[in-house]
Amino acid sequence: MAFSIGLRVYQVSVHKEKDRTPLTLTGDGTATDAHQFLADFVDLNVDTNDHEELQRSWFFEKRSSASVNSIYGYLRYGTYGFESDLIDRKTKLSNYKRKVGDLEEIPLYFHFWSPAKQDFALAAFQSFQARSCVQVVIGAASAAYAKKFKGYRLSFRKLMPGDVKSSAMYSAPVKQLTLLRKKVPENKEDRYLFDFKPDEVEFEVSFKAKRRHTLGSLASILDKSSGSAREVLRFDGIEFDQAKAEVTVGNKRRTVGVVGYSNDAGVIELSESVKFGADGHPLFASIQHETEEILRDFHKTLSKSKK
């Protein structure tokens, strides 16, 4: 259930090493100045970070920001370590033979936003066809912060549907809900499989609202589900490992991962919202606009929950 253009949003907080209580973020250059730390972290990582054990590399390409609270640009992410033939899909002729040391690099949008007078900041990271380096990057940021500010920790927590279920996105009407299970339940085999073997297929159930109707809000669906919104959803006695919902936010359709492998839960699909360039990647201004809209929605929701 990999998303073509996915967006992961994280809540970023600062706390003392032995106390998980989030501290109010400041702008004074101390341990609680998360914005300044992140700005410095980006500036210090504009050169390639090579992880030979993972055969990956990454670095930041920062863009000029009109907002003093925002840092954004591209994470240039690449993989290497194997040969392959790059061929013309029509003629089947080889254009280039990729070498083991060649680095396949893709641009992934990133955005750090530190609203004033809050005890949290927000971070957003794009993925491309399931390719992402978010865990490597936030791990490096957390380690660099702990080294610089002894006794403090910088935490990244991925926002799940249940964390912001009163937001515009998660309170929006659901037009389609798809449930997926990698392994077909044995007690359903005779009913659904015909001559197929259970280990050869995936089991999927999809609910689609009729025209001018909805399935209710995503929040209401999660509240009514008998499974855990973070682990499984249960329908007709079957636990599904993956689930995604298509919601309507204003005049836009967005697909959201509700439950899933490979951290698909909480991932927002932007493929149908962004505009693409000739290179097959989202135009910068387009994905920036979509990301800022989502960040503002989540910030509004999280701020209300603290009052």
pLDDT at 109 over 90: yes
pLDDT at 288 over 50: yes
Identify the band that residue 229 occupies on the pLDDT scale cut at 50, 70 and 90.
Answer: very low
Q: Give the pLDDT confidence score for residue 116 in this predicted structure.
A: 87
pLDDT at 20 over 80: yes
Identify the band that residue 278 occupies on the pLDDT scale cut at 50, 70 and 90.
Answer: very high
Check: CB of residue 64 under 8 Å from CB of residue 73: no
Q: Give the pLDDT confidence score for residue 165 in this predicted structure.
A: 76
pLDDT at 265 over 80: no
| pLDDT mean over 50-61 | 82
Identify the band that residue 228 occupies on the pLDDT scale cut at 50, 70 and 90.
Answer: very low
Percent of the chain beyond pLDDT 90? 40
Which residue did the predictor score with more confidence, 245 or 264? 245
| pLDDT mean over 109-124 | 95
User: Structure pTM?
Assistant: 0.83
Identify the band that residue 226 occupies on the pLDDT scale cut at 50, 70 and 90.
Answer: very low
Q: Give the pLDDT confidence score for residue 185 in this predicted structure.
A: 65
